[in-house]
Structure 1
Amino acid sequence: MCYCVSDLKAEVKPLRGREGQTVTLHTGLAKLQSDAKIFGLFGPVRPEIFIVESQAFRGEIITEYKGRFQGRLQLDRETGSLTVRNLTINDTGLYQLQIISEQVTYHNFIFTVYASVPTPNIRNTPHNPSVDSRLVSGSCSVVCSVGNGKEVTLSWYRGEEKLNNTSSPHQADLSLPLEIKGKNSATYSCIATNPVSNQTTILSIEEHCLQHADSSDCARCITPTELVVRSVLSALVAVATIALLVHHFWRHRRSP
């Protein structure tokens, strides 16, 4: 009996999963015949056989699990559907199930496994005079960043409204700036997504904008310590001036 690469012109079903989760490759069959043989192959060019189930001479059903999926497979003998547990990134690829009975049926799946998207990070943009001059009444410039991965998109939202987004298959990290002008009570959030997960970071106006603006507006303010030092110096200067004037006065009175 031949178990070779199936006809890839047959329907290929796309599936997605996340690392650590479980996926089931459904054949859609109601019930297999008792003498059916099942072969599972992984990979499109030189596929590796990862499961063989057939009936032995005395009618016993024998299932052989091979290769990378050992210990992570469960075959439904009734329908031929296959469950893969504890997914890894390396499980991405083409799966082919061949069920041989009175006729041969092929069940092809393109399966993609994604890592969970990281949590995005928000920080203030570097200071420069042109930016500082605009930091008034809570306005500020921030940038959101996240580690890039497979099909990751980074977006800024104001409430439910998407303001902008970015994605790239090449960058090591994704970054997306945002400038907030003037006081407002809107909720801003930075959201990182991929096809199987998402992570959200809420912008803290108090942390990133109000404090930043206050420190900029108070660039010429005097701290309490500076005030004490200046007061002491002023007092010393005043005392020295008075002493000099008194000395000068008595010198002139004693002169003939």
Structure 2
Amino acid sequence: YGDIYIKEIYLLGAVNAEVNTLTGRERQSVTLHTGLTGLQADKIFWFFGPVIPNTSIVESQVIRGENITEFKGRFREKLQLDRETGSLTIRNLTLNNSGVYQLDFFNTHKTSQRFYLTVYAPVPLPQVRKIPEGDFLDSSSEKGSCSVVCSVENRRDMTLSWYRGEKRLNQTSSPDLSTNLSLHLEIKLPDNNIYSCVAANPVGNQTTKLNIETLCLQFSNAQFHLLPH
């Protein structure tokens, strides 16, 4: 009867749940804070699902004066419940921990809170390279200019941007995670500005500075005239 009872709790409590949105990073921890203190609840239930929180992951009840807590589901070893607040901590996050979490607890009446968690991968370091003058991408470049491209492995909600000093020059993103993000930049020489390529998502960023002297000035043009075989 326990499983049937828990599902009924979820269905009854979904409509009036308080909603919270938060993000986490892979391999780190996140706590779903309830904002409560001194919680005197006889029953605390947590549910999870990628879209709908319909799978029980925590059952905590006071039975004959004793707190009995059971963690369930495929990531039960990662979970930690604070019985005083009802807050749930998830350790060693993976992308599969993204989804909707719902707390139901009971004292004099039933109260629900819902959390939307998105877990992001760490941001990789973008790579900057010079586009050879024989490359078709560089066919429209002016003499006395240097064309470079910045690229990075694409991940969820990732952006790639070029900056000159503090000013953003351009930006790109794509929902297609099977391809890398790339962003072209053409610089008229000589140029003493500082250019940076920044890859970012909601939980972090990585920056690669363009070394104009190394990429554009140090080597003779002949070294970049090689055509693909």
Q: TM exceeds 0.5?
A: yes
Equivalent residues in 2 for 1:121-140, closer than 5 Å: 121-128=127-134, 134-136=142-144, 139-140=145-146
Looking at both structures, which has the greater relative contact order when contacts are Cα pairs under 8 Å and sequence separation is at least 6? 2
Q: What does residue 76 of structure 1 align with? A: 82
Amino acid at match of 1:170: D
- State, as a whole percentage, how many aligned pairs show the same letter: 51
**Structure 2: distance between partners of 1:91 and 1:112:** 8
**Structure 1: distance between partners of 2:223 and 2:44:** 74
Displacement of 1:135 in angstroms is: 4.6
* Residue 90 (structure 1) aligned with residue 96 (structure 2): yes
**Structure 2: distance between partners of 1:179 and 1:105:** 58
Amino acid at match of 1:53: S
* Residue 54 (structure 1) aligned with residue 91 (structure 2): no
**Structure 2: distance between partners of 1:161 and 1:177:** 16
> Alignment partner for residue 142 of structure 1, among 141, 148, 166?
148
**Structure 1: distance between partners of 2:162 and 2:53:** 44
Secondary structure of the structure 2 residue equivalent to 1:209: helix
**Structure 1: distance between partners of 2:62 and 2:142:** 77
Displacement of 1:216 in angstroms is: 4.3
Equivalent residues in 2 for 1:158-169, closer than 5 Å: 158-169=164-175
Amino acid at match of 1:151: D
**Structure 1: distance between partners of 2:104 and 2:27:** 26
**Structure 2: distance between partners of 1:12 and 1:134:** 54
Aligned residues of 1:8 and 1:108 also touching (Cα < 8 A) = no
Q: What TM-score do the two structures reach when normalised by structure 1? A: 0.77
Displacement of 1:64 in angstroms is: 0.4
**Structure 1: distance between partners of 2:53 and 2:185:** 49
Bigger helix share: 1
**Structure 2 regions of 5+ residues with no counterpart?**
none
Displacement of 1:218 in angstroms is: 11
**Structure 1 regions of 5+ residues with no counterpart?**
220-256
Q: What does residue 22 of structure 1 align with? A: 29
Aligned residues of 2:52 and 2:100 also touching (Cα < 8 A) = no
Runs of 4+ that moved beyond 6 A:
none
> Cα gap change, 1:8/1:22 in structure 2, threshold over 3 Å: closer, same or farther?
farther
Amino acid at match of 2:55: E
**Structure 2: distance between partners of 1:218 and 1:62:** 70
Secondary structure of the structure 2 residue equivalent to 1:207: helix
Q: What TM-score do the two structures reach when normalised by structure 2? A: 0.86
**Structure 1: distance between partners of 2:169 and 2:71:** 50
Q: What does residue 108 of structure 1 align with? A: 114
> Cα gap change, 1:210/1:153 in structure 2, threshold over 3 Å: closer, same or farther?
same
> Cα gap change, 1:218/1:26 in structure 2, threshold over 3 Å: closer, same or farther?
closer
**Structure 1: distance between partners of 2:20 and 2:190:** 50
- Structure showing greater radius of gyration is 1
Q: What does residue 157 of structure 2 align with? A: 151
**Structure 2: distance between partners of 1:25 and 1:175:** 36
* Residue 65 (structure 1) aligned with residue 71 (structure 2): yes
Secondary structure of the structure 2 residue equivalent to 1:78: coil
Aligned residues of 1:135 and 1:216 also touching (Cα < 8 A) = no
Secondary structure of the structure 2 residue equivalent to 1:21: coil
> Which has the larger displacement, 118-127 or 161-170?
118-127
Over aligned residues, Cα RMSD in angstroms? 2.3
